[in-house]
Amino acid sequence: MNATDALSRPTNLADFKNSPAEAAAVADAGTSAREPAESLLDNAEIIRVTNITKRVITSDGDLTIVSNANFTVQRGEAVAVVGASGSGKSTLLGLMAGLDTPTEGDIAINGESLFRLDEDGRAKLRGRLVGFVFQSFQLLPSLTALENVMLPLELAGAADAEKRARVILDRVGLRDRVKHYPKQLSGGEQQRVAIARAFVTEPKLLFADEPTGNLDAKTGRTMIELLFELNRECGTTLILVTHDASLAARCGRRLTIDAGVVTDETDQGTMAT
C-alpha cells in the first residue's frame, strides 16, 4: 500500500479488526483535516477525567487496571505519567485519547465527552486535536518512513505534505532514512518516525508513550527538546508516559500510577477516592 492508496481506505475502526493500531492511525488521519480547523474552548481545561475505571475479565477473575481516576489537565501543560511496569500507564493514555473505552466514568477533551461519541466521532475528535506516539510505534509496514509521516497530511489534502514531512524527518535526524521501510529501521529510528508522524500536524494535544524509551541519551535529549518546542511554539499540551527521570523533570506536572491508582504528585492529593 502506498500513501495515496490509503486515501481510499475505510476510516471505520471496525474495518480494521486485525490491526486496531493501524486502524487508529489511518482513521484519525483520514478524518483529521477534512474537518474545519478546531478552535479550542476559551476554557483553559483541555482534559477532564471523571471517575475513570478500567476493569477486564481474565482467567483469574476481574482485574482493575485503572481505579477511579479523577484529574484535569490545563491547556499548554506538560504532564509526566510515571509508574512501575504494569501499573496502568499505557492503559490510562489509551483511555485519555479515546482509543480504549472505560468500564466506568467519562473523559472530556476540549469540553467534548469522549464516550458519548461513537468510534467515528472519537476518531474525528482525535483527528482534529490529537497526536499519539504509541509505545510500540505502530508504523504502517508497507509505507516508507516518508510516507508514514506524510500520511496524515496527504489524507487531509495538504498540497505540501512531502515538504512538511521531510522537514520534520530532518528534525528528528532521519534525512538519510526517508526511503526505508519500518523493518529496515532500528528501534530508535522507528520511534523517531512515530514521533515525526505525531508532530507533523502540530496537534493541540500530544500523547506519547515512552517517547525516549528506545533512544540513546543524546538522541533522547533531542527528542525531548522537540517535544517542548512544540509545547512552546504551538501551545501543545503534552501527556508523556516516561521512565526517563530527565524527561519527567522537565514536565510541570506529574501523575503517578501505582496498581491503577492515579495520584497527582503536583498537589500530593490522591486522585482515586
Ligand X SMILES: Nc1ncnc2c1ncn2[C@@H]1O[C@H](COP(=O)(O)OP(=O)(O)OP(=O)(O)O)[C@@H](O)[C@H]1O
Q: Which stretch binds ligand X (CB under 6 A): 57-65, 67-75, 103-111, 139-147?
A: 57-65
Kindly give the interhelix angle for 145-155 and 187-199, rounded to the nearest 10 degrees. 20
Residue 93 or 114 with smaller CB distance to Mg ion:
93
* Given 67, 87, 90, 144, the residue binding Mg ion (CB under 5 A): 90
Question: Reading across the β-sheet that carries 78-82, which strands appear in turn?
Answer: 130-133, 205-209, 237-241, 78-82, 253-258, 261-264, 269-270
C-alpha 211/C-alpha 250 separation (Å) is 14
CA 89 to chain centre: 12
Kindly state whether residue 91 participates in binding ligand X, applying the rule CB under 6 A: yes
Per CB under 6 A, which of residues 131..170 are in contact with ligand X?
A: 135
Q: If DSSP codes are grouped into helix, strand and coil, which group holds residue 255?
A: strand
C-alpha 35/C-alpha 12 separation (Å) is 16
| The pairing of beta strand 61-74 with beta strand 269-270 | unpaired
Residue 143 or 262 with smaller CB distance to Mg ion:
262
Per CB under 5 A, which of residues 33..52 are in contact with Mg ion?
A: none
Kindly state whether residue 87 participates in binding ligand X, applying the rule CB under 6 A: yes
Kindly state whether residue 56 participates in binding ligand X, applying the rule CB under 6 A: yes
Q: What share of the chain is helix, strand, coil (3-state, %, to 5)?
A: 40, 25, 35
Q: Please state the closest distance from residue 47 (CB atom) to ligand X, in A.
A: 18
* Given 13, 27, 28, 83, the residue binding ligand X (CB under 6 A): 83
Kindly state whether residue 86 participates in binding ligand X, applying the rule CB under 6 A: yes
Q: Which stretch binds ligand X (CB under 6 A): 85-93, 114-122, 125-133, 221-229?
A: 85-93
Q: Please state the closest distance from residue 68 (CB atom) to Mg ion, in A.
A: 20
Q: Which stretch binds ligand X (CB under 6 A): 82-90, 149-157, 165-173, 214-222?
A: 82-90
CA 155 to chain centre: 18
CB within 8 Å of 245: residues ≥ 6 apart: none
Kindly state whether residue 90 participates in binding ligand X, applying the rule CB under 6 A: yes
Kindly state whether residue 88 participates in binding ligand X, applying the rule CB under 6 A: yes
* Given 63, 184, 229, 246, the residue binding ligand X (CB under 6 A): 63
Q: Which three three-digit cell numbers place residue 158?
A: 495538504
Q: If DSSP codes are grouped into helix, strand and coil, which group holds residue 231?
A: helix
Kindly state whether residue 212 participates in binding Mg ion, applying the rule CB under 5 A: no
State the residues that interact with ligand X by CB under 6 A. 56, 58, 63, 65, 83, 85-91, 135
State the residues that interact with Mg ion by CB under 5 A. 90, 135
